[in-house]
Amino acid sequence: MTAVTPELLTRFDVPGPRYTSYPTADRFVEAFGENDYVLALAQRRAGAPGKALPLSLYVHIPFCESLCYYCACNKIITKHHDRGDVYLRYLAREVELHTAHCGTGQVVSQLHLGGGTPTFLSDDKLRELMAVLKRSFSFAPGGEYSIEVDPRTVTAERLAVLAELGFNRLSFGVQDFDADVQKAVHRVQPAEQVFALVESARRLGFESVNVDLIYGLPRQTPESFDRTLEQVKALRPDRIALYAYAHLPERFKPQRRIVPAELPAAPSKVAMLSRSLQQFMDAGYVYVGMDHFALPTDALAVAKRQGRLHRNFQGYSTQPDCDLIALGVSAIGRVGATYSQNAKTLDEYYDLLDQGRLPVVRGLALNRDDLVRRAVIMALMCQGELSFESIEAGWLIDFRRSFAAELEQLAGLQEQGLVNVTGEGITVTAMGWFFVRGIAMVFDRYLQADRNRARFSRII
């Protein structure tokens, strides 16, 4: 940890993808549409019996009762909960269209409800949604079933309903416990409320509780964030996701309400990250990678130790490499060698479903080079090591010849102590884990050819 200096963090403070996929979503094209997606579903269904990849489901619930100024998610601000009722009817149609193409009873080992605010839906509507999903898919025992929770929208009683519905993992959006920062981003939630909910979640037997934090928000200082870190350590969630705030008001309209003069300067952001890394490690958390920390007993930390870590559109996962069916407005999925994204507006999403069509409006069919590079990037992002022999055997290439330019770039990272490159492969060092996005970027063919990286968040 002593080697992860503010100077090194500053050096890597550049824009870059998060690699929840490769190629990244900004490479999707409108030439990829419903027909391409239906073909991918048909190919999955036609696969050898019992040999299909496990299935993951993502359901996007876009509604929120109030606006958080930092938010870059696809969301709809409304207090009219009947809009959720209409949305559920269309979600049910989308599920029916999927099962028409890939059959009922597909085994699901992972479910994630995101948003927006999934708990915008009432308990009865969440029951209705889960009933629709369980009629169409077969949920595997011991799977990972998670939901994002706004602490302001739930009680201990509501958490009990989530447990009853089969959810075993919760993610609480905290961002910062400082009252002044909360006011600046229009998200006021007392720390006592979060502590009480986490205690209730443990009493109810949830397997894992995650807390989301953001550094770089308006009115934050290294000292104020230190106080939040102390409270988080006292809360002791099983997992922590620590994100850097990306201020892109030209792309995300809500961020225009943030006063630029109140944003912390770059040195303060670096100090917050540096102190966070040190504090969480000192508190016994395992640095899983990217922005994620977990207690040693948590399934995510265990998966990292055992080399079973994977990555999908929700981030790091313990589940094996799998297809992802994404439901709801703007949701992004992966089936076979394709990525797809649904319509981004409710009007277009509803209109396509009214026509009896799957609401896919863009995506990508991966070519051979994409697939090889995805294998390389995901090995580095998840296992922290890459065997030349395994890539060569799997893809029938000469790794050193195919990636000569990339290996030359890695030489500079090796001099900085971030990677070790040998005749057998590449290994990310303990220090290199903190900069794994920068290491993966070396193998991103699209990024290397594109100097306009402003659309990505910064690595630090």
Q: Mark whether 279 and 305 lie in a shared domain.
A: yes
Mark the binding-site residues for S-adenosyl-L-methionine, compressed into ranges. Answer: 58, 70-72, 115-117, 148, 175, 187, 212, 246, 332
Please state whether beta strands 332-335 and 63-64 pair in parallel, antiparallel, or not at all (unpaired): unpaired
Per 3-state DSSP, what percentage of the chain is helix, strand, and coil (rounded to 5)?
A: 45, 20, 35
In DSSP terms, 61 is beta-bridged to 115
Q: How many domains does the chain have?
A: 2
> Cα dist. 367→364, 376, 394 in Å?
9, 15, 15
Q: Mark whether 3 and 53 lie in a shared domain.
A: no
Q: Mark whether 290 and 416 lie in a shared domain.
A: no
Q: For residue 460, tell me if it sits in a domain.
A: no
Query: Given the structure tokens 């990217």, which residue do they identify?
Result: 290
State yes or no: cis peptide before 116, omega within 30 of 0.
yes
Residues 90-131 have pLDDT tens digits of: 999 999 999 999 888 999 999 999 999 999 999 999 999 999
Q: Mark whether 29 and 9 lie in a shared domain.
A: no
Q: Mark whether 281 and 162 lie in a shared domain.
A: yes
CATH code of the domain containing 317: 3.80.30.20
Mark the binding-site residues for [4Fe-4S] cluster, compressed into ranges. Answer: 64, 68, 71
pLDDT at 291: 83
Asked which of 273, 295, 325 is the last residue of a domain, the reply is 325
Q: Mark whether 88 and 164 lie in a shared domain.
A: yes
Residue 2 clears pLDDT 50, i.e. is over it = no
SS3 157: helix
Q: Mark whether 8 and 64 lie in a shared domain.
A: no
pLDDT at 309: 86
Hey, what's the torsion of the CAs at 314, 316, 317, 320, to 10 degrees? 100
Q: Mark whether 11 and 87 lie in a shared domain.
A: no
pTM of the predicted protein model: 0.91
Asked which of 295, 325, 355 is the last residue of a domain, the reply is 325
Q: For residue 342, tell me if it sits in a domain.
A: no
Hey, what's the torsion of the CAs at 438, 443, 445, 450, to 10 degrees? 20
Q: For residue 183, tell me if it sits in a domain.
A: yes
How far out from the chain centre does Cα 6 lie?
A: 26
199 vs 290, which has greater pLDDT?
199
CATH code of the domain containing 421: 1.10.10.920
Q: Mark whether 8 and 113 lie in a shared domain.
A: no
Mark the binding-site residues, compressed into ranges. Answer: 58, 64, 68, 70-72, 115-117, 148, 175, 187, 212, 246, 332
List the domain range (segments joined by +) for residue 163: 24-325
The two tokens of residue 27 are: 């490479």
Residues 267-305 have pLDDT tens digits of: 898 889 889 988 999 999 998 887 899 999 999 999 988
Q: Mark whether 74 and 8 lie in a shared domain.
A: no
For Cα atoms 176, 181, 185, give the angle at the middle one, nearest 5 degrees.
Answer: 95
- Highest-scoring range by mean pLDDT, 262-276, 387-401, 426-440: 387-401
Q: Mark whether 80 and 96 lie in a shared domain.
A: yes
Contact between 300 and 292 under an 8 Å Cβ cutoff? The reply is yes
pLDDT at 7: 72
Q: For residue 435, tell me if it sits in a domain.
A: yes
Query: Given the structure tokens 């394709």, which residue do they identify?
Result: 338
Instruction: Give the chain's end-to-end CA distance (angstroms, integer).
Output: 16
Residue 311 clears pLDDT 90, i.e. is over it = no
Beta-strand ranges (E) seen in 17-89 are 55-61, 63-64, 76-77
The span from the CA of 385 to the CA of 406, in Å, is: 15
Asked which of 325, 346, 377 is the last residue of a domain, the reply is 325
Contact between 425 and 388 under an 8 Å Cβ cutoff? The reply is yes
Q: Mark whether 410 and 427 lie in a shared domain.
A: yes
Residue 345 clears pLDDT 60, i.e. is over it = yes
The span from the CA of 377 to the CA of 453, in Å, is: 18
